Amino acid sequence: MSSAIRVAASGARAHQIRLDVVGHNLSNVNTPGFKATRTDFQDDRYIELRAARPGREAGAGDRAGSWLGTGVIVATRPIFAQGPIEITDQSLDLAIVGNGFFQVRHPDGSLAYTRSGAFRVDPQGRMVTAHGYLLEPPIQAPAGVAELKVDPEGIVSARVGREGAPVRLGTLALSTFPNPEGLESRGFGIYVASEKSGQPTTVPAGQGGNGSIVAGALERSNVDLEGQMVALVEAQRAYQLSLKAVQALIEMTQEAVDLQRL
């Protein structure tokens, strides 16, 4: 009976994870560049209860083996489908249309990647993300800059003073991965490479299969609100059923113990 309880409990744990994932997706429905997470379910390992063997009597067929499943396991992975583009008319709001990630410098010194293009200039004149991650390679705005512009190829230019000519500051590179679903999330829309994602290829926007950059716009979250609401109801009902199964099995176990005592 204890194995049946573990099986039912594994279902409750799996659907609790799905509820957490759906809640996280719904809470970030308005987060720029956010990529929804999906849950994948798979049956857990099986244990052999009885091995298959030939029939004992002449002409009898082989006896099939007996196997018992041990529950369910769940994995999560991001969905990097393109989100809708929203025009903001802010010059440092940048949206990627197509493949690619902005390359930034993590506070620990390692390289990281993001689709969130809400950039700003920090007090030192450097272009950073909304959470202060430096662009890599860095873009340094000169003192007295009046305007920063980014073209679809990622070329950043600045105009110093109202009458000054535009000065090229650098080029925003975009990084692509053989398997972007293998990227590891670090929060704040930041991802880092892993063995599963493969190593990045970093080239200017619009080259090497990279997407283009739209200035004055943001990529919105790609969360499917309607689909997530349906998933929320499904996960909640499955979670409740799993808990009821656990409760029923515990009660049956208690009744069996009481009968043994009698």
Decide: helix, strand or coil at residue 169: strand
Residue 160 has, within 13 A of its CA and on its CB side, a CA count of 9
Q: Nearest 5 degrees, angle CA 29-CA 116-CA 135?
A: 165
Q: Nearest 5 degrees, angle CA 211-CA 212-CA 213?
A: 130
DSSP 260: H
Task: Write the pLDDT tens digit of every residue in 202-228.
Answer: 998 888 888 999 999 999 999 999 999
Task: Write the pLDDT tens digit of every residue in 182-200.
Answer: 999 998 999 999 999 999 9
d(CA 112, CA 50): 51
**Burial profile 23-61: b = 16 or more Cβ within 10 angstroms, e = fewer:** eebeebeebbbbbbbbbeeeeeeeeeeeeeeeeeeeeee
Task: Write the pLDDT tens digit of every residue in 23-41.
Answer: 999 999 999 999 999 999 9
List CB contacts of 9: < 8 A, sequence separation 6 or more: 71, 242, 246
Q: Nearest 5 degrees, angle CA 34-CA 121-CA 102?
A: 40
Residue ranges per domain, the chain? 2-53+62-79+223-261, 85-219
Task: Write the pLDDT tens digit of every residue in 45-75.
Answer: 888 877 766 655 545 555 666 888 889 999 9
Average pLDDT across the chain, whole number: 89
**pLDDT at residue number 153:** 84
d(CA 225, CA 22): 10
Kindly state the tokens that stand for 107: 């506070």
- Quickly state the pLDDT bin for 107 (edges 50, 70, 90): confident
User: Cβ(41)–Cβ(14) under 8 Å?
Assistant: yes
Task: Write the pLDDT tens digit of every residue in 78-94.
Answer: 999 999 999 999 989 99
Kindly state the tokens that stand for 231: 């998933």
